[in-house]
Copies of this chain bind each other. A is one copy, B any other.
């Protein structure tokens, strides 16, 4: 199957918490993270990136699911330009995508990242999930122009899917992730960085399975916490036996307590 994917680099303010706080972000398609791309192993993706003439910076796109020349395909294009390339998603998994224009550390920190899921061609290679989420961890730097702070790893908050405590029901405007008891919940987890490592843990639960890079061949069983480096990703399955709240966190607490908590709420019908 062939997919035509178009994205636009957008330099504009976005809302980053439930209180309506704004941030001068750079994004794909106006949201941080950008849209989830989903294809099946073996599919072809025709990708086009537009950098509108109204933008001020070069941008680029790097898909971790692709196996293609970096120089030709991931090069930064100026405002007013468009680039297209084609790749085959040959390996199943959950993959990071991001802008690679220099300084890449800033383009990621300001919001130019997302996830691409490549489903295995043979769905029977792993258990069927009853419910699925994509969760992307990234560092928040309050001054989007302070590149030195990014190099110095002085982040001001830790986000899941572009929000501080975005899925925390006790915070103003906070949401949640829903589930039902007994369901196998599959979390496609990406660590966008740009620098920090994540130690991903479900409070009140144990990952039934973890799949490194989301590849069904890389199966772990009964894992409390799993390290996902910056620029990495993995798939986490949890069977939530009982109704209740299960906060997903990075157990590196300076990150969790500054925003990287997403509550999975299991309620019967």
Contact = CB atoms under 8 A, between A and B. Distances in A.
A232 B201 contact: yes
A20 interface: no
Task: Find the residue from A100, A251, A256 having the highest chain B CB count within 10 A.
Answer: A251
A51 B43 CA distance: 58
Contacts of A240: 67
Contacts of A205: 67
A218 interface: yes
A83 interface: no
A198 B213 CA distance: 16
A143 interface: no
Nearest to A243: B69
A197 interface: yes
Contact of A229 (B69, B71, B199): B199
Contacts of A90: 206
Interface in A206-257: 206, 212-213, 215, 217-218, 220-233, 240-247, 251-254, 256-257
Number of chain copies forming the complex: 3
A232 to B, nearest CB: 4
A254 B150 contact: yes
Nearest to A208: B91
Contacts of A69: 204, 242-246
A91 to B, nearest CB: 4
Given A74-B204, A206-B64, A251 B230 contact: yes
A50 interface: no
Interface string A52-85: 0000000000101111111111100000000000
8 contacts: A68-B244, A70-B245, A71-B244, A105-B254, A195-B252, A213-B222, A224-B233, A226-B232
